[in-house]
Structure 1
Amino acid sequence: MQQGSGGSPDPPLPLHRTADRRFRGRPVQFFVELTDQLCRAVRHTLFLAERDEKSGITRRESWEEAGVEIEEPEVYDAGSHLVEWFWDADSLCGSTGFGLVPLDALRIQAWAGLTGTTVEPWEGRILLEMSRARQQGPQEDLQSEAPVTQAINPAMFDALFG
């Protein structure tokens, strides 16, 4: 750690300011972006999986029925396997009645042992971030993904607003 002007150690730079640093041959910024993409994919999945109270169908089902094209979030190929791993491992967590049980390091380790999957430390850290995104639930910013640029016909209106 570098010494600051007052002799005290400077705090480490935030991860997003370390684009020149490298890990596993890739810039650290790559892993920050990958983590953001994967967390967005989790929130996107949750957003589309929300069920309408009246009809009981998911937002995804409603939009597909109305012919709305759903754009999936971009995820780098180098981390696309983590989406499948996450939902597979997360399915082991369940609920306590007070909310979802988060995917933690012990559950990731147990899942890896059960499936024979080798999880690298960087993959485990990203899976933990994805679990945090799951606990937060779909974000309000995902509401902007609603199809507002298309003309709304009666079937689409019913699908979107019941």
Structure 2
Amino acid sequence: ADYLRQTRGLKVGVVNLTMFRPFPGAELSRVLKGRKGVVVLERLDQPLAADLPLMREIRATLGKAMENGRDKHETPYPLLETYSALTDAPPLYSGSFGLGSRDLQPEGLIGAIENMLPGGSRKKQFYLSIDFLRDDPLTPKQEIHQDTIESGYPGVRALALHGSEN
């Protein structure tokens, strides 16, 4: 975050959750209110799940904050912030990293931020620093293998996200 603030003048920050339970929904609802975008990075993947675990909790928290703003007579969740406008809830982006024991590189973090910027690809769900398919297969056999993967999983290539620098 410091690097992007210094080199590109971006207003970015980091919220590092060190505890998942009890979930710090009240604090997050205050910190995230009105932000232009939030990337949630998780070191796992859950195939067939609608969202990853941390993203699920954050969506629930923001939903409750929106409920607080809809009810004019009472605040159903008094510990949470009240979001009275749609713009109070930031757009959310979900990224997986570290799959296959790969370490998260600066390039991946830069890619996650660039994804949200105007002119970025704005992918709502992505994988950092992993290539499901090579741009230039090394052998004809590998090319056949990749074609099989791509026909079985259309769009898999687009799930990978990379940054412009490392």
TM-score scaled by structure 1?
0.28
User: Larger relative CO (CA 8 A, sep 6+): 1 or 2?
Assistant: 1
Which one has the bigger strand percentage? 2
TM-score scaled by structure 2?
0.27
